[in-house]
Amino acid sequence: MDTFSKQFIDFTISHQILKFGEFKTKAGRISPYFFNLGLISNGLGLKKLGEFYGNFILDKNISFDMLFGPAYKGISLVSSTAIALSSQKLNKDFNFAFNRKEVKDHGEGGQIIGYPISGNVLILDDVISAGTAIRESIEIIKSQGGNPEGVVVAIDRQEKGQGELSATEEIRNLYNLNIHSLICLDDIIEYIKQDDRYSQYLSSIEMYRAKYGI
């Protein structure tokens, strides 16, 4: 496991973003682990999260013109990542936008908050499960005249989507998009193997991967 992956998993566990136990997923599967970036609820945690995304994006040399985050979790992601990228250390300034769940019919109106969508747009989200939020984001970006350039998520669960392919592969093939993840399930398994505190969960996670993994 590389240093970045270990540091990010350390961060997610310390903020209870990554938990082990028994959880029901949106797809109805009983998962031995749960990942939820929505549990970040303080300034220092959000700052660090943005730095993880920002450093990852620059390290992978991902080319784009602006950031887009699907409501709701994507809102804090694109905000914190844009701030991190504009810091003195990273020195890259990018515009960002996110959508409303419901179109506003008064005031400034519309569905988009932030910079008008244009050019090549990088989508930021926490996890691809069924891929619904990413598909909606792609359609929103296209409808606004932008070009979906790629996707960055915190974790690739490496699970089957609607067929035998993973949700990540389905979206990659359907839209011809590059999809990047800070970590994947394999990283979590490797982490557990190296840390006795979580060894009790190893067998259940490996059984889950054997049943639902790709």
Residues 166 and 156 sit within 8 Å (Cβ to Cβ): yes
Sequence-ordered list of residues with C-beta below 8 angstroms from that of 188, at least 6 positions apart, any chain: 9, 18, 33, 155, 205
Q: Which residues are 158's β-sheet partners?
A: none
Residues with a catalytic annotation lie at 104, 106
DSSP 65-93: SEEEE-TTHHHHHHHHHHHHHTSTTT---
Beta pairing, strands 147-156 & 120-127 = parallel
